[in-house]
Structure 1
Amino acid sequence: MAKTSGSRFHLGQALCIVTGASRGFGRAVAREMSQLMKPRSVIVLVARTEDDLRSLQKELAESEEGRAGLVAKCVVADLGQTEGVESVVGVSKESFSDDMDHIILVNNAASLGDVSRYAISFTNMAEVDAYLSFNVSSSLCLTASILQAFPQRAGLRRTVINISSLCALQPFSSWVLYCTGKAARDMIFRVLAEEEPDLRVLNYSPGPLDTDMYMVARTRSADPGVRKSFSDMIDQGQVLTCEKSCKKLMKLLLDDKYTSGDHIDIYDV
């Protein structure tokens, strides 16, 4: 990422936690964030897939930032379980030092859910609860736990980012779980922004991204119109790389002009 404003570092000496960091957009966020933090910052990489996390940890350790003192730590955890959330909080607390001046939490981890079915088919409450536990409950509980672990104090900035979607605002046929989860998460962070005026809270919608999730969406969605829409975006060159969208997110964070709690789409930047 190009450096701006004359200084190489813009996010301070930070503790940054990125969920869903092993691949796709979360991996891109971890890479970009690492370039904007001062030496002796710590980035906590969270995901369920250990091999992918370890490869990212190695990449960051061997980067210019890693050689300058950035520390990358891995937490292999299922955030749909209480133990997973607790393990992230524990490693974060161990990683924090008094000279750090910024806490950044990126709630990126999410799953698409079963898009091969329509809403009327979801009669199994346990199935729905499991989806919501990973996609909604975990982000609220992790965020609340991190904010309790690192309460407001003089000289400490706290930033919470929710990776959102157009689906938080618009219904997509056969996407009842994903749309519900994203809408709920947006509201969680809008409420948080109202309750905690010292926080910087952002709901960022990264746009259509070239990821495994996108390929599932265009091939398995039950609604033929949705499948066609995703295929058309590929044909028309509208699908974005994770890196391109991530640079827009970094610009939002560096400019720091958004209203806390806002939902901002990549096309709004």
Structure 2
Amino acid sequence: MAAKRMDLNRRTFLVLSGSSNPLGQSLALEFCRRLGTGSLALILDENQEQLRQLESHLLVGLKTENVKVLTGKLDKGHSNGVQLMEQALKAHFEAEKEVPRFEQSVILHNEGQAATHVLLEPQSTEDWKAYVQEQLYAPVALNQMWLQSKYLEKVEKLAVNVTSSLMVRPLVHAGLLCSCKRARDMYFRAMAAEEYRFGVHVLSFSPGLMATHESQCDVNGNRIDPTDLIAAKQVLQLPRIQPSQATLKLINILEEISFVSGHDVDYYDTFVL
């Protein structure tokens, strides 16, 4: 596959799933700032209060009418994301008779709360199923709706999987999260190969160890710092990353450096923004 660059300053349908952590909020603001006139951004998360705050922040931060921003509250298993996307697209194109088609669509799968302070190793089958539903099955279902929507036919597409080069390794207290991340990474690789001929591009991006990563609680309520889970000293020596740095690095990769669909890119691959 050839290297690809994306021009974000086009009429775009943007979907961001997982906006409740600082990285998600930064992604929402910086991507919406760059979208062209007539764009629609759908921001999804299960935290209603965070969605309200982000929506207000976007209205102030964008200072433009280029982008219409909608928010949608996900249910506990994130299974209603498909319906929220379908409703947003239907309402957009039925509001007026001659709404121009989007020139491209971008879907960003961020982790939301799982990236900051959720650390657990569920013991029951029901807990495992619920976690996998949220972290693996729900993003896949959202992608399928996005790929098959009649409103996005023949529209160039980009899917970004926010992953972690650390969390796909075996870690104490994080077996479930690591397992889901590894499965998600393979799914996005397969998606890149299968959908490339239809104008779909895929990137898995590891944003680095966030400065906003908090100490976490295991299933027994013990406080654990993320660095306590990392055995490799060279990883601990890497600089902590601010959400805005990770976001700008991702945008620079998409617009300037270029990427190969299906490949993984880590923030620490280069420190040049």
Q: Secondary structure at the match of 1:239?
A: coil
- When structure 1 is superposed on structure 2, of 178-187 and 106-115 the one drifting more is 106-115
Q: What is aligned with 2:223?
A: 220
Aligned with residue 95 of structure 1, among 92, 95, 106 = 92
1:173/1:223 contact within 8 Å kept? no
| Deviation at residue 153 of structure 1 after TM alignment | 4.5
Percent identical among aligned pairs is: 21
| Deviation at residue 157 of structure 1 after TM alignment | 1.4
| Deviation at residue 29 of structure 1 after TM alignment | 0.4
Counterpart CA distance in 2 for 1:214 and 1:95 is 38
Q: What is aligned with 1:173?
A: 172
Counterpart CA distance in 1 for 2:226 and 2:36 is 47
| Deviation at residue 10 of structure 1 after TM alignment | 3.4
RMSD over aligned Cα atoms? 3.0
1:16/1:105 contact within 8 Å kept? yes
| Deviation at residue 169 of structure 1 after TM alignment | 3.8
Q: What is aligned with 1:5?
A: none
Considering Cα pairs closer than 8 Å and 6+ residues apart, tell me whether 1 or 2 has the greater RCO.
2
| Deviation at residue 53 of structure 1 after TM alignment | 1.0
Q: What is aligned with 2:11?
A: 13
Note if 1:78 corresponds to 2:75.
yes
Note if 1:241 corresponds to 2:239.
no
Q: Taking structure 1 as the reference length, what is the TM-score of the superposition?
A: 0.82
Note if 1:185 corresponds to 2:184.
yes
Task: Please list, as runs of the form range in 1=range in 2, the aligned pairs for 1:1-269 lying within 5 A after superposition.
Answer: 10-63=8-61, 65-78=62-75, 80-95=77-92, 97-110=99-112, 111=114, 115=119, 122-150=122-150, 153-154=153-154, 156-167=155-166, 169-197=168-196, 198-211=199-212, 213-216=213-216, 220-221=223-224, 225-226=228-229, 233=236, 238-255=239-256, 257-269=258-270
1:209/1:241 contact within 8 Å kept? yes
| Deviation at residue 256 of structure 1 after TM alignment | 6.3
Q: Secondary structure at the match of 2:157?
A: strand
Number of matched pairs: 251
| Deviation at residue 168 of structure 1 after TM alignment | 5.0
Counterpart CA distance in 2 for 1:256 and 1:217 is 38
Q: Secondary structure at the match of 2:210?
A: coil
| Deviation at residue 68 of structure 1 after TM alignment | 3.3
Q: Identify if the C-alpha distance between structure 1 residues 177 and 79 changes in structure 2 by more than 3 Å, giving closer, same or farther.
A: same
